DNA sequence: ATTTGTGCAAATCGTTTGCATCTGA
DNA sequence: TCAGATGCAAACGATTTGCACAAAT
């Protein structure tokens, strides 16, 4: 018996269907249904598409009054990555962003704030793409549109 | 009087023209022509387009028998960045790559080895690009084509 | 009963910084 | 001369890891 807050989803609007889907995926990946994992999964997937760093997620967990260690947040995020529940977005060499939007899409990146904004893949039309060099497969196309606050000069 | 090897470019094939151009830019940026800077500039620009990390450049300097501290390599690279002699490429959240190719272009990234390969910008044709959100200017379009070794299954 | 996950603190990695000492203009 | 640059080692921030304990199957 621990002092952890209840894991029931009073606080988090995740449908029972989503919840089951989630459990399925964790199980399929051979991950046990542990309290921290369920918890973080709920935080991650409770509202639409999100981009967060480990620290951000850790912060949210604390706000919700849920006790998880930062190390576990990191480990869990990495496991979710491997399992394919998350994708990683590399835009800033000092931070790692995890993206809950699994569909093909791209990003605006506001350099000044570190904020990421989704760009649906149809919003960018690519008509020509080089073929992968001999011996390689192209495993992904990442497009980052960098934004700077408009200069009203 | 130091034990530093000569800075004359016997070892490095930089044309006198390039050399002067380089000095110009350093001077224009208010950077002094110091031994480490000249040295690293030569290593960076001696052959075509390069992608290197600070550690790689440090390694090259050592191979050439030239004494520079790693801290100075970092500082110098950052100064060159500010001056616009280099660009930074963000593809891997654990490493920072510096790119001597200043022209608009994109990259193949071999995840398994960390290798970067230039893709000329004409090789990718983009016909539709979303406009920047209100209040922002689009300052850059970075495209990374991720490569994985071909699976011969 | 096993096996796997967790939390903590210590370790690691790439990068930056403080400061005393040099050095280029 | 003397502002600016260098080198070293210590500081840093983000992430990982080792190990004793706890929880899931």
Share of chain A above pLDDT 70, in %: 90
User: Quick check: B25 pLDDT over 80?
Assistant: yes
Q: Which of A93, A146, A151 sits opposite B142 (nearest CB)?
A: A146
Q: What is the DSSP track for B59-86?
A: HHHHHTT----HHHHHHHHHHHHHHTS-
Closest by Cα among B113, B34, B95, B33 to A90: B95
Residue A43, sorted as left (phi over 0), alpha (psi -120 to 50) or beta, turns out to be alpha
Q: Is the pTM for the entire model greater than 0.85? A: yes
Report the pLDDT value the prediction gives residue A57, as an integer from 0 to 100: 97
Query: Residues of A numbered 14-73 whose beta carbons fall under 8 angstroms of chain B's beta carbons: which are they?
Result: none
Residue A52's H or E segment, with its range, is strand A51-52
Handedness of CA B136, B138, B140, B143 (dihedral sign): positive
Residue B70: burial class (beta carbons within 10 Å; 0-12, 13-18, 19+): middle
Å between B75 CA and nearest CA of chain A: 16
Q: Whose structure tokens read 């790693």?
A: B70
User: Quick check: A15 pLDDT over 90?
Assistant: no
B15 CA to D12 C1' distance (Å): 40
Q: Which of B92, B123, B135 sits opposite A150 (nearest CB)?
A: B135
Q: Which of A8-17, B6-15, B80-89 has the highest mean pLDDT?
A: B80-89
Which of B114, B147, B151 to probe by mutation at the A interface, max A CB count within 10 Å?
B147
Yes or no: say if B114 and B95 are a contact pair by the CB < 8 Å rule: yes
Q: Is the CB of residue A37 inside 7 Å of nucleic acid strand C? A: yes
Q: Average model confidence (pLDDT) for chain A?
A: 89
Q: Is the CB of residue B96 inside 7 Å of nucleic acid strand D? A: no
CB contact under 8 A, B133 and A95: no
Distance CA A90, CA A94 (A): 9
What tens digit of pLDDT does each residue of A94-130 get? 999 999 999 999 999 999 999 999 999 999 999 999 9
What tens digit of pLDDT does each residue of B63-106 get? 988 899 999 999 999 999 999 999 999 999 999 999 999 999 99
CB contact under 8 A, A140 and B145: yes
Report the pLDDT value the prediction gives residue A27, as an integer from 0 to 100: 92
Distance CA B125, CA B128 (A): 9
Q: Does any CB of chain A come closer than 8 Å to the CB of residue B131?
A: no
User: Quick check: A5 pLDDT over 70?
Assistant: no
CB contact under 8 A, A133 and B147: yes
Q: Does any CB of chain B come closer than 8 Å to the CB of residue A115?
A: no
């Amino acid at each position: 018996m621990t002092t952890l807050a209840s894991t029931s989803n009073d606080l988090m609007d995740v449908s029972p269907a989503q919840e089951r889907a989630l459990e399925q995926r964790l199980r399929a990946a051979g991950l046990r249904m542990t309290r921290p994992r369920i918890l973080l999964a709920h935080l991650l997937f409770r509202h639409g598409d999100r981009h967060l760093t480990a620290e951000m997620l850790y912060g949210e967990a604390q706000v919700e009054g849920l006790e998880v260690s930062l190390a576990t947040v990191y480990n869990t995020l990495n496991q979710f990555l491997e399992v394919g529940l998350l994708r990683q977005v590399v835009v800033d060499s000092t931070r790692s962003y995890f993206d809950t939007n699994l569909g093909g899409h791209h990003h605006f990146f506001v350099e000044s704030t570190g904020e990421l904004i989704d760009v649906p893949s149809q919003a960018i039309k690519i008509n020509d793409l080089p073929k992968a060099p001999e011996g390689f497969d192209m495993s992904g196309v990442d497009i980052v549109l960098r934004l700077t606050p408009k200069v009203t000069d």
